[in-house]
Each structure stands twice: as C-alpha cells, then as structure tokens.
Structure 1
C-alpha cells in the first residue's frame, strides 16, 4: 500500500496518477466522491478528464475492502481517491445528517475505523499495489465548530493508521511529491 497525502489542491491526484501510469497500464480507479451539486459535478468531470480513458473506474465509498478483493484483476494497480471524502460520506450516512451538536462521535469513529481496518486488510491480501490518496487536515488552525474538529481528529487518526502500515508514504506540497517513508 502506498499513501499519498497533502493539502487540498496540492497536486496529490496528479502525483499519484503519474506514479501509477509510469508503472502500470491497467488500473482500477476507485472514486469516493458523490455528486451533490454543480460544483462537485465539475470537480468530478475534471478528475475523469485527467486520467486515461482505459482505466476502470468504480464509484464507491462503503465497504471498500471486499470491493477491492472482488474487483481487482491480476497485474492491475488500484488508486483509491480519497480517504477524506470516504470518511465524510460515511460520517454523514451513519449520523443520518443529524445536528452535529447532538452526535456521539465515539461510535461513529469506531464504525469509520472498522471501514479503514477492512480496507487495510484488503490491501494486504490483494497482492496488487494499492495507492491511497488522502488529505492532510492537521496542518491548519483548529476548526471553530464541533463537527469540523471531530472530523479533523478522525481523519488524522485514520491517516496515521494507514501511514503506519503503508510501504511508502508521499507528501505532496505545491505539486511536488516528497517520499517521507
């Protein structure tokens, strides 16, 4: 497993796609974004346009461990874009869109970490390289609202778990990737 992290709009996607394209012709691209509005539709369209048309794409964010094991083909690399979006989607689903001030984040985080554990297990079992993109959220000020603070904490802990087991970790800053593990 190879983890690629960095800030928003840092060039993570282009970096990981370049790493993969130099080594693999067959790629399973797992996109975790959901179409929520026109702005998101434009972002999704830009991401689709920048990657090779022959790469297979799956749009999913739940139970990715079994999905990877069932869908990956021999000789294929996997790109998962991105953990932060996956966590946000799952958090929203599991909370039912409830008022953040009423949420008990402990069971929500436990569920999210089960999803990450399943992903890690699948990456270790799959026998193919899995490149995972995530956002580094902890390099800014502490957010003012409760939901954002908890989300930064949850994402930070998930990223630490992924980085701990990853064979390589890349930090992308201003379009430049630096291998840190």
Structure 2
C-alpha cells in the first residue's frame, strides 16, 4: 500500500468545511471511517451530530473518541482507506476542559503544552500512515480576542494546533462560503 496523504481542511463555523472533507474522502477511497470527537452533552449538540450522521453514506463506519485521538488513528491505520477526523478543535476543547489531563491541578501553561505535544504526536504519526487522513478544523484566527482566559487559551491552542498540522500536511484547504481554496499542496513547500 502506498503512503497515505494528510489533508487539513480549515474553515469557520458553517463554512462548508465538513461537506468538502466528506466529498474529498469519497474521492480518496471507498472504505471510509468517520472519526468523531464530539462530546454530546446536551440536546442541541445531539441535533448537530444527527445532522452530520444523516449526511454521511450508510456504508461509512463511525468511530467516536473524545480524548485519545492518536490511539484511535493508530488503531484505524491500515484497516480502511480513509479516516475523516472531524474535528480537531472539538478534540482540543475536550482536552482543555478535562481537569485530569495531563494530571489533576495542572496549570494553564502546562495544560496548553501537553495539548500541543499531543497535536505534534498526531501530526507526526499521520505522516507515517498507509491510510489517508483528512483532518477538519475551525480556523479561529480571524475573530476577536476573547474576553476570558478559557476563550483565549482555546484560541491560542487551536491556532497553534492548526499550524502544527498544516506544517506536516500534504495539502491544506480553507473553506469559505462553501468554496474550498487550496492553500498548500505538495508542490508548494515553505
């Protein structure tokens, strides 16, 4: 099997990034696993998840994992043609809000460093895979500076995480108003 490709799909809320990633996954292979990081804690989030589920073809498998994404990706590698991981920023939120990771009582800077090391582990692992992986993430750098510590921490971690994945990715797309714009390809390296 040839080396898989790592693709990052960025976009704002309701930009069409997930739909674009789904179409891309269908072009890359037939055996697709949707790796979902959403934690369903309320009725509104359950509704959002249901919309995503109904949009996907019935032959796609779904794996749900809120924290141990690197392990989940490793388990799936070689067992499918494409992993569609939706989404990186929900995973980051789950890690940021988990009071036990990396250990109870961890300071904000320690937590942020832990999360970014996990993102680096994911990025590095993805570059060695046989399976294609498409990672969907929210582009958070275009908004205002949040007025609270948690919001600023999330924005900072998400922005840095997107940069880490983008540096390792074979291709990066930005989706705005449902229109994908390729911002990095193998042909363009910095």
Scaled by the length of structure 2, the TM-score of the pair is 0.87
CA contact under 8 A between 1:62 and 1:115: conserved in structure 2? no
CA contact (8 A) 1:68 1:126 kept: no
Runs of 4+ in 1 over 4 A off after TM superposition: none
Q: Which residue of 1 aligns with 2:188?
A: none
Partner Cα distance (1:131, 1:115) in 2: 17
Aligned residues: 176
2:51 pairs, out of 46, 70, 75, with 46
Q: Distance in 1 between matches of 2:95 and 2:66?
A: 7
1:25-174 to structure 2, matched below 5 A, reads: 25-74=30-79, 76-94=81-99, 104-174=107-177
Distance (whole Å) between structure 2 residues aligned to residue 147 and residue 13 of structure 1: 25
CA distance in 2, matches of 1:95, 1:135: 25
C-alpha contact (below 8 Å) 1:66/1:122 kept by paired residues: no
1:104 CA drift (Å): 2.7
Q: How far has the Cα of 1:70 moved from its partner?
A: 1.7
Q: 1:176 to 1:107 in 2, by over 3 A?
A: same
TM-score norm. by structure 1 comes to 0.91
Shift of 1:66: 2.4
Unmatched segments (≥5 aa) in structure 1 = 97-101
